[in-house]
Structure 1
Amino acid sequence: MSNLPELPRLLVADAVQAALKEDLGRAGDMTSDATIPADMPARAVIATRKPGVLAGLALAEAAFREIDPSVRFAASRRDGDKLERGDIVAEIEGPARSILAGERVALNFLCHLSGVATATREMVDKVAHTKARICDTRKTLPGLRAFEKYAVRCGGGANHRFGLDDAILIKDNHIAVAGGVVAAIEAARSFAGHLVRIEIEVDTLDQLREAMDARPDAVLLDNMTPDQLREAVGIIAGRAVAEASGNVTAATVAAIAEAGVDRISSGWITHSAPSLDLGLDIVVG
């Protein structure tokens, strides 16, 4: 995909170094050191064992290069590519010990992020006949948010806010403490700069009507049925972005999209997406 953002190198390096430190511990790869000569060269391939969407190549490459800068990592596919079973993703050449020491960290990143991209693409495909776009949430694994949100982009989805500091999303607990829907929106508007968008979560149509009088930029319609969503879209009438959330799965997403919403946010695509099965094999001969 040509419109993918580039993962910041410092972010990649920090994540890979932490993962390698966890895996190699104090003694390094004892098995490889015990069984393989230090100067033994090797060639390996990473291939997919199930169809899916690729994400995480930069992290996989960094895992091998962090172990040994002499390792050559040649990707044959790009992040965002659709993969069929057996497709070769990359070839790696270098000292056998170095390749095996970086294998698990490289695959952990690649399999998890490709799983997120694959789950996202499944939802994107199911709503392709509508105007709705699939978005992620902040329900991400600690320390992996930027990478998981990147993987969502690889799968054709869009990013919601990255953290608490880049947009205002007023949820039910904020409303309860602030003293109501209108009070919360008005307080947020008096606090925010003119470039900060304000979204409010509502779970009833009465709340929605009240919220629209205060002119939010976006409304998150939480756990509404498709019929309720259709009515909600009519109430909003293009005056704000209509976002549906809650109980969004591959089985429910098409009906939600057909209600006419602009965005559908799903935590499932990051916190519950199954890993895509990729493996590394040493090429013998």
Structure 2
Amino acid sequence: MSATATRSPGMSIESVAVKPPSHPTYDLKGVIKLALAEDAGDRGDVTCMATIPDDMEVDAHFLAKEDGVIAGIALADMVFSEVDPMLKVEWSRKDGDNVQKGLQFGKVHGRAHNIVVAERVSILSSN
């Protein structure tokens, strides 16, 4: 049977809209929310809450643990924004850049509690 024999009358192949498959990677925001819920739950990070004052603001730095290639900056930005839109994230490198062990390639400023939650999920999501 040919492809033309299976078409409905009046429809051309050009007029058929094909949706992308339903896969979690197409809903990054939803996946991020699930990862945050799994990691911190409704109560937040209990260790962080027990050891760091709630109102403490800090500067945190992203350091390369090994030589490698930067990947996942856009995803990390989405995670930090989802946790706290007031966090200020800056990158000195971009995806695809080579880094050497010990290189500082970014920083974030804001509430320590939110940074801890966001960095853990963004690192796990990028691996």
Q: Structure 1 length as normaliser, TM-score?
A: 0.34
Kindly indicate whether the alpha-carbon contact (under 8 Å) linking 1:55 and 1:79 is maintained by their aligned counterparts in 2: yes
Equivalent residues in 2 for 1:242-253 (5 A)?
none
Aligned to 2:74: 58
Q: Distance in 1 between matches of 2:30 and 2:42?
A: 18
AA aligned opposite 2:86 = S
Match of 2:42 in 1: 26
Report the Cα distance in structure 1 between the residues aligned to 2:108 and 2:85, rounded to whole angstroms. Answer: 12
Output the TM-score relative to the length of structure 2: 0.73
Q: What is the count of residue pairs matched by the alignment? A: 102
The alignment status of 1:69 with 2:85, answered yes or no, reads yes
- The separation in 2 between residues aligned to 1:79 and 1:26, in whole angstroms, is 32
What pairs up with 1:184-203 in 2 under 5 angstroms? none
Cα displacement (A) at 1:28: 1.4
Percent identical residues: 37
Which runs of 4 or more aligned residues in structure 1 lie more than 6 Å from their structure 2 counterparts after TM superposition?
A: none
What SS does the corresponding residue of 2:90 show, helix, strand or coil? strand
- SS of the aligned residue for 1:78 comes to coil
After superposition, residues 1-285 of structure 1 pair within 5 angstroms as 11-110=27-126, 112=127
Measured after TM superposition, the shift of residue 100 of structure 1 is 0.9
SS in 2 for 1:14: helix
Look up the equivalent residue of 2:34 and give its one-letter code.
Answer: A
Larger radius of gyration: 1
Kindly state the Cα deviation for residue 64 of structure 1 after the two structures are TM-superposed.
1.7
Q: Any gaps of 5 or more consecutive residues in structure 2?
A: 1-25
Q: With CA pairs under 8 Å and 6+ residues apart, which has the higher RCO, 1 or 2?
A: 2
The Cα RMSD (Å) is 1.5
State how far apart, in whole Å, the 2-side matches of 1:99 and 1:34 are.
15
Partner of 2:4: none
Mark the runs of 5 or more structure 1 residues left unpaired by the alignment: 1-9, 113-285
Distance 2:96 2:27 in 1: 20
CA distance in 1, matches of 2:58, 2:100: 26
Deviation at 1:20, TM superposition (A): 0.6
**Relative to structure 1, is the Cα distance of residues 72 and 59 closer, same or farther in structure 2, using a 3 angstrom cutoff?**
same
